[in-house]
Amino acid sequence: MSRVALCFPGQGSQAKGMADDLLDVPGAAGLFEQAEAQGLDLRARLAGDDDDLRPTEVAQPALLFVGVLLTTMLDPAVEVVGVSGHSVGEYAALAAAAALPASEAMRLVVARGGAMASMREGTMAALLGLDADAVAQVCREVDERGQGPVVVANLNAPGQVVVSGTVAGVRAAGELAKGRGARRVLPLNVSGAFHSPLMEAAAERFAAALDAAPLVDARVPVACNVDGALVTDAAGLRARLRRQLTGAVRWSDCVEALLSLRPDALVEVGAGGVLTGLARRIAPAVRAVSVATPGEAHSLGVRLVAAGA
């Protein structure tokens, strides 16, 4: 039996058609009902085009929907030894670890997406070619100029760091980073300054929903975004989720934590394949595969055996 660690993608990985084979599978109706109870017609959005999926308040529940349902279809011949998720993907990871019922994960993610979408100030950009320390120094210098706040928001892989903050601060950080040797500065198509102090009001708005969530101890370790720690106890998971909206996603640390569990493969569950690529940059020798369709979920064990896992 292959041992796997599951990874769930975050916002930006959503794509038209990603749920076409999932709309009527067992479990879908309950997730649609939970979203609709909070005013989101998720089924209609998933059946639409890229523009229907792009808004933060839609993209996040849509990704959760796909991740949760594909997890239920994974080949039982694989053993899950740990989980993690990038930003909103952490909620699909919690559901996969049985720390949170799928319906409650949907309730939380609809609330989370709505809270984040309401914060329209600021933006984000990926700085490619500088290490985390160099980017952190850039952010400090921009803050000292009074153009911030701008902070390190995602530590995705060596040489790929995302910053978040005011529009002026992110622009200044990009210009300064280019002068320090950054290969590229890529503005991100997001509606706000996620994972930065500018999300404080969204975090406060989301806190009541999070505090009411029926989290229980996870069945397998969860590599948490804010510190990369492997956590199973409900109190530790909840405390880290409280910090997630304003804290950095330490994705490289999450991947390294999962690899410490000695899985035979890292499996990205959901659309896009972004995390599969990042895993190979973080640990070039890692066996990383993606599961984006029911067929890929059902055949995972066979695929891993064929790959030598």
Q: Report, as residue numbers or ranges, the catalytic residues.
A: 87, 195
Distances (CA, A) of 122 to 117, 139, 290: 12, 14, 32
Strand duo 160-165 + 78-85: pairing: unpaired
**Contact indicator for 259, 303 with CB cutoff of 8 Å:** no
Length of the chain: 309
Give the alpha-carbon dihedral of 289, 290, 294, 296, to 10 degrees. Answer: -30
Q: Which of 89, 93, 106, 96 is nearest to 9 (CA)?
A: 89
CB 5, CB 78: distance < 8 Å:
no
Kindly state the helix (H) or strand (E) to which residue 300 belongs, with its residue range: helix 300-306
Strand 288-291 and strand 265-269: the pairing is: parallel
Q: What angle do CA 111, 148, 208 make, to 5 degrees?
A: 20
Provide the token pair at 217: 């101890």
Closest C-alpha to 194, from 223, 172, 170: 170
